[in-house]
Amino acid sequence: MKRMLLKIFCLFCLTGSTISLIAQKAPIFEMRGVWVATVVNIDWPAQKGMSVEAQKADFIRLLDMHQRNGMNAVFVQIRPAADAFYPSQYEPWSEYLNGKQGLPPTPYYDPLEFMIEETHKRGMEFHAWLNPYRAVFNIHNASISSSHITKIHPEWFVTYGNSKYFNPGLPEVRQFVTRVVKDIVTRYKADGIHMDDYFYPYRIAGKNFPDEKAYRQYGNGLSKDEWRRSNCDSIIHALYQTIRTANPYVKFGVSPFGVWRNKSQDPEGSNTKAGQTNYDDLYADILLWLKRGWIDYVAPQLYWEQGHKLADFDTLLAWWNTHTYGKDLYIGQAIYRAGSSAAWRNPNELPNEIKAIRSYTTTQGSIFFSSKNFENNPNGWSDSLRYDYYALPAIVPPMPWIDSTKPPAPIFAKSNGNVFRLHYSGKLPVKAFAIFALPENVDENMNYATLIKLFIADKEVVYERLASLVPANNRLFASVVSEHNVLSNWIELK
């Protein structure tokens, strides 16, 4: 049984007026995610070939930083180039982990299991990020082991630019990727499977993607563009079915390029002038996947600033909000662009984007690219999140089509003066106790409540409440949060 002795004078140090101000900007349910890229060691590990202890310490440091900043989810790249940050029967150990592809950690440990466990300890979600079709990041300097799939089945791959890719037009390729994903969701407690924007690769001027042979074999009368889109549709549908069958509680989402199509190409497109688009260049028909319910969320990468002449952030935000088809929408935000231009030297750019995102009831939060960019507090944005926009906690939005089961309410017991206990005795697994403040003389409605604390515990919380530090003119209520972010009914603490 987990127990925590929690001093409220450390927890409720915000004044009533401060809580009221922050509450206007902080939803109870909000995705606050960070992408953690492992390809070429962008975010983690800090460098390849680090000792096991250094790898672990580096990831814990990363998690603690994001927890302080108010984040509640990490999207960690566990398969950057047909390699693995976990023991796999299908793909070799990643070179970005131990310095040489195929080389296991010494002393041995399972990095994915470790990362999921540490993430869950902090009450955060772990989404396993896979690059679906990239097989070799750079053909000129990559470490390729004899067990890599490009060595076993070279006929599955094509070279385009400096990279080697699975050929999406081959049925055996789609079957292979599906087996990889099934293995992950079967063996690990990841909260989600996450695909990025690299389906067919971005076009290289003057070069055609070399899939003519597969098109002649499998085109079946479609135009090449239609056939390529069909190939992407097929893998997404297969992955959706595989995940739902293997573990129906695992979320499946995609983070596409920010523009589906320009209005000049399609009346349903956005009022943008992007040079490449998902539909026409990457062959990813995101809207079809949302309409069919094959993905649970979409996280478009809106990496342009507000007022951008070709792809304005606000224009795209509004467009995506009218094209979610009942699924969750998280906005990919570009903290990595801090300082890159006049617009991105403006300390108000990222906060204003968050305000715009929160103005839509059909947007459920943000994911930031990428982790390392928080370390130096660019434009003061880490502080803005920690002390303002994310100062109060938020619960990852529940997905009722995955799970809508409410856990039983907690049991409240007062004892020993100022010491209080919350118990949970239900059988449904839970991950946290949520404490809400509600102004007096206000209806007991969640819409008026402020989430002021999440206690990460599964059975019991013991804490000391000092009445003088409770937000002025507020009552306190408590709920429990299920493993899938569904709240129980609340009870008043009095």
Q: Quick one: pLDDT band at residue 418, thresholds 50, 70, 90?
A: confident
Residue 213 sits in a domain of what CATH number? Answer: 3.20.20.80
**15 plus 38 within the same structural domain:** no
Q: Omega before 340 cis (within 30°)?
A: no
Specify whether the CB–CB gap between 424 and 433 falls below 8 A: yes
**338 plus 233 within the same structural domain:** yes
Q: Quick one: pLDDT band at residue 9, thresholds 50, 70, 90?
A: very low
pLDDT number for residue 18: 39
Q: Which of 389, 415, 441 is the last residue of a domain?
A: 389
**Three-class DSSP category at 52:** helix
pLDDT number for residue 472: 81
Q: What is the mean pLDDT of residues 326-341?
A: 98
Is the pLDDT at 417 greater than 70? The verdict is no
Q: What is the pLDDT of residues 484-494, one digit of tens each?
A: 999 999 999 88
Q: Taking the CA atoms of 75, 284, 364 and 69 in sequence, report the sign of the dihedral they define.
A: positive
CA dist list (Å): 282 to 198, 230, 264, 278, 285: 7, 12, 18, 5, 9
Q: Which of 350, 371, 389 is the last residue of a domain?
A: 389
Q: What is the domain count for the chain?
A: 2
CA dist list (Å): 433 to 7, 396, 437, 438, 458: 15, 14, 14, 16, 8
**16 plus 61 within the same structural domain:** no
Q: What is the pLDDT of residues 187-241, one digit of tens each?
A: 999 999 999 988 999 999 999 999 999 999 999 999 999 999 999 999 999 999 9
Q: Quick one: pLDDT band at residue 425, thresholds 50, 70, 90?
A: very high
pLDDT number for residue 466: 47
**457 plus 357 within the same structural domain:** no
Q: How far apart are CA 436 and CA 23, in angstroms?
A: 11
Is the pLDDT at 304 greater than 60? The verdict is yes
pLDDT number for residue 399: 98
CA dist list (Å): 297 to 181, 278, 364, 403: 17, 16, 10, 15
Q: What is the pLDDT of residues 436-448, one digit of tens each?
A: 999 998 989 988 9
Q: Taking the CA atoms of 352, 284, 33 and 84 in sequence, report the sign of the dihedral they define.
A: negative
**115 plus 218 within the same structural domain:** yes
**138 plus 166 within the same structural domain:** yes
The amino acid that residue 23 corresponds to is A
* Neighbour-count burial for 373-384, b at 16+ CB within 10 Å, e otherwise: bbeeebbebbeb
Q: Quick one: pLDDT band at residue 1, thresholds 50, 70, 90?
A: very low
**136 plus 167 within the same structural domain:** yes
**414 plus 376 within the same structural domain:** no
Q: Which of 256, 404, 429 is nearest to 329 (CA)?
A: 256
- The residues near 281 (Cβ < 8 Å, ≥ 6 apart) are 200, 202, 203
Q: What is the pLDDT of residues 366-413, one digit of tens each?
A: 999 999 999 999 999 999 999 999 999 999 999 999 999 999 999 998
- Residue 16's domain comprises 1-28+398-494
Q: Which of 389, 410, 435 is the last residue of a domain?
A: 389
Q: Omega before 171 cis (within 30°)?
A: no
**115 plus 135 within the same structural domain:** yes
| E strand or H helix at 189 | none
**98 plus 184 within the same structural domain:** yes
Q: How far apart are CA 91 and CA 131, in angstroms?
A: 13
Return mean pLDDT, the chain.
Answer: 93
Q: How far apart are CA 343 and CA 354, in angstroms?
A: 16
Q: Which of 8, 24, 33, 7 is nearest to 370 (CA)?
A: 33
Q: How far apart are CA 240 and CA 32, in angstroms?
A: 24
Residue 14 sits in a domain of what CATH number? Answer: 2.60.40.10
Q: What is the pLDDT of residues 183-194, one digit of tens each?
A: 999 999 999 999
**213 plus 172 within the same structural domain:** yes
Q: What is the pLDDT of residues 147-199, one digit of tens each?
A: 999 999 999 999 999 999 999 999 999 999 999 999 999 999 999 999 998 89
pLDDT number for residue 255: 98
pLDDT number for residue 114: 98
Specify whether the CB–CB gap between 332 and 300 falls below 8 A: yes
Specify whether the CB–CB gap between 73 and 81 falls below 8 A: no
For the chain, percent of residues with pLDDT exceeding 90: 87
**268 plus 148 within the same structural domain:** yes
pLDDT number for residue 109: 98
Specify whether the CB–CB gap between 459 and 2 falls below 8 A: yes
Specify whether the CB–CB gap between 489 and 442 falls below 8 A: no
Is the pLDDT at 24 greater than 50? The verdict is no
For the chain, percent of residues with pLDDT exceeding 70: 93
Helix residue ranges per DSSP H, 188-285: 212-218, 224-246
